[in-house]
Structure 1
Amino acid sequence: MASELTFYTNPMSRGQIIRWMLEEIGAPYDTEILDYTSSMKSDEYRAINPMMKVPAIVHKGRVVTEAAAICAYLADVFPEAGLGPREEEKADYYRWLFFAAGPLEQAVTNKAAGFEGSEQQQRMFGYGHYDLAVNALADHLAGRDYICGTRFNAADVYVGSAVMWGTQFGTLPKRDSFVAYADRLSQREAYRRGKAEDNQLISEMQAAG
C-alpha cells in the first residue's frame, strides 16, 4: 500500500538532506529515484517541480520543493517527532534556517564558481561577502550544541547538512565550531541510517554504470 508521502530524490544530490529529515521524523514514505538526464526532465516530474531539481516531496497530494522548506514543512506536519521550534527557539530557528538557505548558500556557490564580486557589487548581495557569511554562522555555533542551543531540531538537519558537506569538500573552512557541530550531528542514528541508504543507492548506481 502506497504511503501518503512520496520522496523524489537522487542520492548524489541535496536529497540527502531530506533523507536524513525523513529518518528523523520516522513516518513511512515511498521513494522515487530520478536520474539527471531523463526522469528528472520528464513531463511527469516537471508537473511536480518545473525547476527539474530534487529533492521534492508530495504529501497528501501537496507538493513541497526546496530542501529548507521541506525540512520546515515536515517538522510542522509531523509534530510528534518534536523537530519543530519551541516558543523560545523560534527566533534562532527561523533566522538560521533561512540564513543557510539564502546568504550562506549564495556565498558558498558563488565562491565555488569563482565569482565574489567587486566591493560595490557586494553591497547588492544578501551575504555581503564569503568571509562575512561564514564568520556569522561560525560565531553563532561557538559554544552551542545546536542552532537553537541545547536541543536538536529541524534547523540542524538543514544547517548541519550544509556545514558537514562544506567542511568535507572544502567549500567551508574547518572552523572549530563547525567541526564540533558536524561531529555531534554525525552521531545521530537517523543521520547514519539515511547516509547508509544513500550510500547503498550510490553504489548500486555506479555498479550499473
Structure 2
Amino acid sequence: MQFRKIKLYHYPATRSARVKWVLHETIGDNFEVEIVPLYEGKQYTAEYLEMNPNHNVPMLEITLENGETTTMLESGAMVTLFADSFIDANLAPKAENGGIARADYLQMLYFASSWMDMMLWQIRIHQDILPKAERDEKTCERYREKFVSEVEPQLIARLSKHDYICSNEFSAADIIITHNIMWAKMYGLCQHDVFSRYLSKVTKRPAFIKAFSDAKQFNLKPDKDSPVKANFSG
C-alpha cells in the first residue's frame, strides 16, 4: 500500500494503542497521532461525530499517493490491513497462501477483537463508566465468569503450547491479544503464570514500547464530573 499520509486519532492504552503498535511495526514512526481526550467528551463534538459517528477511538485517516482518502473505525480491521499490506514485517501468514496457518491466525485476531472485546467492554462499563444507577452487577459478574471459564482456558492452552498465540512466531494477532490480556489484568483476570510469561516477551518489542509509551496517562475511571458521563451511550 502506497500512502501519502496516515493519521491516527488515539487515546492512551485504549484500543487505538493496538493500531499505534501495528503502525510502528510496519511503517515505523511515519504517521501522525492526534490525542482525543475522551474523558473531556471531545468525541461527542459535532466536528468529531461528522468524521466518526461511533464517537470513539481509534479512527484512522489514510491518504494514498494518488490522493484517494478513506477513514477506518475498527481496530481489528486496521491491524489486519497493515499486517497484510506490509508483508516484510512478517505479521501475518500471506493471504494468497491460504491454509491452516492463515485460518488460525484470522480466527485468533477476530476472537480477540470481537468476542474478548465484548466481554471486557461489558465489565468495564458496568464497573467504571456507566452512572451507578445504570450499572448491572449481574452483567459484570456474568462476563467475568464467562471470561475466566471460557476465554482464559483457550488462551492458556495456546500459550502453553507455543511462544505466541498462533505459533512460535509473533503475529498481528498477538497485538490484539496482548492488549486484551493487559486490559483483563486491570480487572483481576488473566492471573495464570502463562500470561505473565507471555507479556514479558511481547512487551519488550520496540514497537510495543513506543505504542504504550503514553500508557501512564490512562485512567480506568473518569472523574465524577466528566462530560462523558452525560453523553455515554454504551
TM above 0.5, yes or no, is: yes
Over 3 Å counting, the alpha-carbon distance change for 1:117 and 1:152 in structure 2 is: closer
Over 3 Å counting, the alpha-carbon distance change for 1:160 and 1:72 in structure 2 is: same
Q: TM-score when scaled to structure 2?
A: 0.72
Give, in whole Å, the separation in 2 of the partners of 1:175 and 1:76.
32
2:105 to 64, 86, 93: 93
2:150 to 127, 132, 155: 132
1:176 partnered with 2:193:
yes
Q: Is the deviation greater in 80-89 or in 134-143?
A: 80-89
Over 3 Å counting, the alpha-carbon distance change for 1:38 and 1:170 in structure 2 is: closer
Over 3 Å counting, the alpha-carbon distance change for 1:116 and 1:135 in structure 2 is: farther
Amino acid of the residue matched to residue 115 of structure 2? P
For residue 201 of structure 2, give the secondary structure of its aligned residue in structure 1.
Answer: helix
Amino acid of the residue matched to residue 55 of structure 1? P
Give, in whole Å, the separation in 2 of the partners of 1:72 and 1:171.
29
1:6-155 alignment runs, 5 A limit: 6-27=7-28, 28-36=30-38, 37-60=40-63, 61-86=69-94, 87=97, 88-112=100-124, 113=126, 114-116=137-139, 129-130=146-147, 131-155=149-173
Q: CA deviation at 1:150?
A: 1.2
1:190 partnered with 2:207:
yes
Amino acid of the residue matched to residue 115 of structure 1? K
Q: Deviations over 1:109-168 (max 9, x none)?
A: 3345333499xxx8xx9xx9331122122222212111220111111111111112322x
CA contact (8 A) 2:22 2:175 kept: yes
Report the RMSD for the aligned CA atoms in angstroms: 2.8
Give, in whole Å, the separation in 2 of the partners of 1:4 and 1:48.
17
Give, in whole Å, the separation in 2 of the partners of 1:20 and 1:92.
21
Amino acid of the residue matched to residue 29 of structure 1? F
Q: Deviations over 1:144-199 (max 9, x none)?
A: 111220111111111111112322x1342211222211111011111112222x24
Structure 1 unmatched runs, 5+: 204-209
Over 3 Å counting, the alpha-carbon distance change for 1:74 and 1:115 in structure 2 is: farther
CA contact (8 A) 2:13 2:212 kept: no
Sequence identity, in percent? 24
Over 3 Å counting, the alpha-carbon distance change for 1:199 and 1:95 in structure 2 is: closer
Q: How many equivalent pairs are there? A: 193
Q: CA deviation at 1:12?
A: 4.8
Q: Is the deviation greater in 139-148 or in 83-92?
A: 83-92
Q: CA deviation at 1:81?
A: 2.1
Q: TM-score when scaled to structure 1?
A: 0.79
